[in-house]
Copies of this chain bind each other. A is one copy, B any other.
Amino acid sequence: MIDPEILKALGISSPEELFEDIPAEARISSLKLPEPMDERDFIRHFKKIVSKNITVSETPSFLGGGVYRHYIPAAVREILARSEFYTSYTPYQPEASQGMLQAMFEYQSYMSILTGMDIVNSSMYDWSTALGEAALMCHRIRRGSRFLIARSTSPVRKRVLEMYLRGIDASVEEIPFDPETSRLSVDSLEDKLKGEVFGFYLENPNLFGVMDENVFEVSDLLGEVPLVIGADPLSLAIMKPPSEYGADIVIGEGHHLGTDPNFGGPLLGIFGCRKEHLRKMPGRIIGATTDATGKRAFCMTLQTREQHIRRDKATSNICTNESLMALAACAYLAALGGTGFRGVALENLEKAKDLSGRISEIDGFRSPRFDAPHFNEFAVGCDIPVDRLRKRLLEGGIQIGPSLSKDFPEVGEAVVIAVSELHTEDELNKLISSLEGTA
């Protein structure tokens, strides 16, 4: 049980003495848990359970909405398996943690280039909480009671946003989109801007995969009201950085740069802003400096914004973040290089366009549902209820998302179809012929 040497050193005769401070009422005699297993048995047990899962690599899946499956180079997987990375923690002692610090600095650098933001922090939990934090940050920048968002925002993220705003008692209001194109209705925005608005959020590409040019008109309208843009970093390989249309804060999801969907977690919340807002920003930031000999070195900086220093006045409560996912994104971008990364983005774009075109030829479907250029996903309008379609496709082993009609009655029966470079011709054909079969 316990090393007698240790008991002796502690001057106690029974290990139980170590716990004598626990009052009798608070004690338990044992835990009711399954018997322990050795490795072999656990593997068997576990495989049996997870074999019930049907994965998106075994069968064609067209699910997207922020979580995607992209090809992960073997080298990236190996890098993430380096246990010096994954068994370390927050680099409180920079001298001993230059490896992770440098990688985080590199991640920040990559994301700065993609987003155009002066500073990107070294991760938030996910896109949805990044949105919540962005709204709170807007509130620090410009007090107010109303936060506006484009109606083409993911409902999943919208729900989290509402949760984050509860503490400051602010309301979330939606700006409708153009029914034809799903682009932001700029006029509506203008109308809504009156009053105590402290920020506006728009996703580009939007929930329906549409690349929205109307954003170029937003910044002027907003004036001092901060603009938050949500973007898939992959789209930023071929789309203008949001800085160019006036974003104050850029957020997004980055898990698919280097990690698998993992049933939706862990993810990688990207969070960047312009330098004038720096001190209002949440999350950990790595800065460059030098060591005592003048050698380049990295460390956490501006920690006075953070909870461990600033406590209830901190810009966020975040402590443990998603550093490993940021490392993955960094390694992924390094492995693909600019050329490879742009290549993947283009391939996704083209595949989506082709697939949409093929679906549009099937009776009973309108594709794309919105008449505008799309990135890697697109909405398809359906004559039959999507729930029915979804079920039928599932019987054939094909997975698509839920109906948009629940959250967007004005769109009618429609579903978002996401593709990536990993979809094979076979898989696409299977979708097409299944759709043909249901029409």
List residues of A whose CB falls within 8 A of some B CB.
39-40, 44, 71, 73-74, 78, 81, 83, 421-422, 424
Residue of B nearest to A75 (CB): B39
Residues B81 and A40 in contact, CB atoms below 8 Å apart:
no
Complex: how many Å from CA A73 to CA B39?
A: 7
User: Which residues of chain B are near A424, meaning CB under 8 Å?
Assistant: 44
User: Which residues of chain B are near A81, meaning CB under 8 Å?
Assistant: 78, 81
Complex: how many Å from CA A103 to CA B44?
A: 31
User: Which residues of chain B are near A422, meaning CB under 8 Å?
Assistant: 40
Complex: how many Å from CA A44 to CA B57?
A: 12
Residues B78 and A83 in contact, CB atoms below 8 Å apart:
yes
Complex: how many Å from CA A78 to CA B84?
A: 12
User: Would you give the shortest CB distance from A11 to chain B, in whole angstroms?
Assistant: 31
Residues B71 and A39 in contact, CB atoms below 8 Å apart:
yes
User: Which residues of chain B are near A74, meaning CB under 8 Å?
Assistant: 39
Residue of B nearest to A42 (CB): B74
User: Would you give the shortest CB distance from A413 to chain B, in whole angstroms?
Assistant: 34
Complex: how many Å from CA A44 to CA B422?
A: 10
User: Which residues of chain B are near A39, meaning CB under 8 Å?
Assistant: 71, 73-74
Complex: how many Å from CA A424 to CA B43?
A: 13
* 7 A-B residue pairings within 8 Å (CB atoms): A39-B71, A39-B73, A40-B71, A40-B422, A44-B424, A78-B81, A81-B81
Residues A421 and B40 in contact, CB atoms below 8 Å apart:
yes
Complex: how many Å from CA A40 to CA B335?
A: 14
User: Would you give the shortest CB distance from A43 to chain B, in whole angstroms?
Assistant: 9
Complex: how many Å from CA A81 to CA B81?
A: 9
Residue of B nearest to A73 (CB): B39
Residue of B nearest to A79 (CB): B83
Complex: how many Å from CA A78 to CA B81?
A: 8
User: Would you give the shortest CB distance from A80 to chain B, in whole angstroms?
Assistant: 12
User: Would you give the shortest CB distance from A363 to chain B, in whole angstroms?
Assistant: 32
Residue of B nearest to A38 (CB): B71
User: Would you give the shortest CB distance from A302 to chain B, in whole angstroms?
Assistant: 35
User: Would you give the shortest CB distance from A73 to chain B, in whole angstroms?
Assistant: 6
User: Which residues of chain B are near A73, meaning CB under 8 Å?
Assistant: 39
User: Which residues of chain B are near A421, meaning CB under 8 Å?
Assistant: 40
Complex: how many Å from CA A39 to CA B336?
A: 12
Residue of B nearest to A81 (CB): B81
Complex: how many Å from CA A27 to CA B419?
A: 47
User: Would you give the shortest CB distance from A364 to chain B, in whole angstroms?
Assistant: 32
User: Which residues of chain B are near A71, meaning CB under 8 Å?
Assistant: 39-40
Complex: how many Å from CA A436 to CA B195?
A: 85
User: Would you give the shortest CB distance from A346 to chain B, in whole angstroms?
Assistant: 15
Complex: how many Å from CA A257 to CA B74?
A: 26
User: Which residues of chain B are near A83, meaning CB under 8 Å?
Assistant: 78
Nearest 3 CB-CB pairings of A with B: A40-B71, A39-B73, A39-B74
Residue of B nearest to A340 (CB): B38
Residue of B nearest to A40 (CB): B71
Complex: how many Å from CA A384 to CA B39?
A: 39
User: Would you give the shortest CB distance from A426 to chain B, in whole angstroms?
Assistant: 10
Complex: how many Å from CA A44 to CA B74?
A: 14
Complex: how many Å from CA A78 to CA B421?
A: 30
Residue of B nearest to A422 (CB): B40
Residue of B nearest to A421 (CB): B40
User: Would you give the shortest CB distance from A256 to chain B, in whole angstroms?
Assistant: 15
